[in-house]
């Protein structure tokens, strides 16, 4: 796997140095670059493909929100983790960042461990997955095992209902972000159509409001390499920009990390 590249964007030099030090200490193999403002950040992002962006909100010239909006329009940065590091924690600011496609945000001041956990959350899984794949490949070469060996099923992250034109389907949540949800439905209960507009009713972990998100089916996939597959994987892209719905969804996603 190629070296992980992280870009830190902040107009305050002591913050840039502080964040850079934390990341370097805990992830010494990463390439850490720093930009002194949004314009400098965009310039660096145009010449280097970064794997994670840690960005301040309020900066002279191009703000963090401006940089985020620009990034989401670029081919490489459409889904690259972008974390806003800011002292602005007001609801309106947070919702603006969510609507622009931010992955996460962290308030100033913050503890070193908070930052480390954020980096692990968005980059650590990728490294672990890559290492696991290499180990599995080596084991297969050594034992002659087929690459088509069945995978162990992962525990779902939650439950939901998928409302489609033909009815309501019970489903398990495989993964969820502020932009989309990956779910699994039983084939016998029904299959939505590709690009069909749907509603996902996401059940809270410990009661509370249900996140009723409007979206459309962006992809369908068989869970097994067989025409007889029992489960169908469904990706739903959210279309809602309703602040209250996004607030409920944010609360739900946060609760998953505390389980």
Query: What digits encode the pLDDT tens for the residues 90-110?
Result: 567 777 778 788 888 887 778
Other C-beta atoms lying within 10 Å of the C-beta of residue 11: 18
- Domain(s) of CATH 3.40.50.2300: residues in the chain: 5-125
- Domain(s) of CATH 2.40.10.220: residues in the chain: 158-256
Mean pLDDT calculated for residue range 181-197: 89
* Cβ contacts of 159 within 8 Å, gap of 6 or more: 170, 171, 172, 173, 203
Quick one: residue 167, left, alpha or beta (phi over 0 = left, psi -120 to 50 = alpha)? left
Taking CB atoms within 8 Å and a gap of at least 24, the contacts of 145-154 are: 148/225
pLDDT at 135: 52
Between CA 259 and CA 256 the distance in angstroms is: 5
pLDDT at 243: 74
For residue 64 the two structure tokens come to 């963090």
Other C-beta atoms lying within 10 Å of the C-beta of residue 154: 9
Query: What digits encode the pLDDT tens for the residues 137-160?
Result: 455 445 544 444 444 456 677 888
Reduce the DSSP state of residue 84 to 3 states and report it.
strand
Evaluate if pTM is beyond 0.75: no
Q: What angle in degrees, to the nearest 10, is found between the helix axes of 13-26 and 112-119? A: 60
Strands 82-86 and 104-107, how do they pair? parallel
Fold annotation for 5-125 = Rossmann fold (3.40.50)
pLDDT band at 86 (very low <50, low <70, confident <90, very high): confident
pLDDT at 146: 40
Question: Is the peptide bond prior to 109 cis by the omega test (within 30 degrees of 0)?
Answer: yes
For residue 200 the two structure tokens come to 């996902």
pLDDT at 1: 52
Query: What digits encode the pLDDT tens for the residues 111-130?
Result: 888 899 889 888 865 555 44
Between CA 126 and CA 109 the distance in angstroms is: 27
For residue 13 the two structure tokens come to 């030099």
Fold annotation for 158-256 = Thrombin, subunit H (2.40.10)
* Cβ contacts of 89 within 8 Å, gap of 6 or more: 107
Reduce the DSSP state of residue 258 to 3 states and report it.
coil
């Amino acid at each position: 796997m190629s070296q992980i590249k992280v870009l830190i964007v902040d107009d305050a030099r002591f913050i840039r140095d502080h964040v850079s030090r934390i990341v370097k200490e805990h992830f010494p193999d990463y390439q850490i670059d720093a930009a002194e403002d949004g314009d400098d950040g965009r310039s660096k992002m145009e010449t280097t493909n970064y794997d994670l962006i840690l960005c301040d909100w309020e900066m002279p010239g191009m703000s963090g929100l401006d940089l985020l909006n620009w990034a989401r329009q670029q081919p490489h940065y459409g889904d690259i983790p972008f974390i806003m590091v800011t002292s602005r924690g007001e609801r309106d600011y947070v919702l603006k960042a969510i609507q622009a496609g931010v992955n996460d945000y962290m308030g100033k001041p913050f503890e070193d461990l908070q930052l480390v956990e954020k980096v692990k959350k968005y980059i650590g899984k990728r490294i672990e997955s890559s290492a696991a794949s290499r180990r599995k490949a080596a084991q297969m070469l050594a034992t002659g095992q087929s690459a088509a060996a069945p995978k162990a099923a992962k525990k779902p992250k939650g439950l939901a209902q998928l409302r489609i034109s033909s009815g309501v389907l019970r489903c398990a949540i495989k993964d969820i972000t502020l932009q989309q949800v990956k779910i699994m439905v039983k084939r016998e209960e029904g299959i939505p159509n590709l690009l069909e507009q749907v509603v996902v009713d996401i059940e809270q972990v410990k009661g509370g409001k249900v996140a009723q998100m409007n979206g459309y089916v962006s992809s369908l996939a068989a869970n097994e390499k067989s025409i007889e597959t029992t489960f169908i994987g469904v990706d739903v892209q959210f279309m809602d920009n309703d602040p209250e719905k996004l607030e409920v969804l944010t609360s739900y996603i946060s609760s998953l990390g505390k389980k």
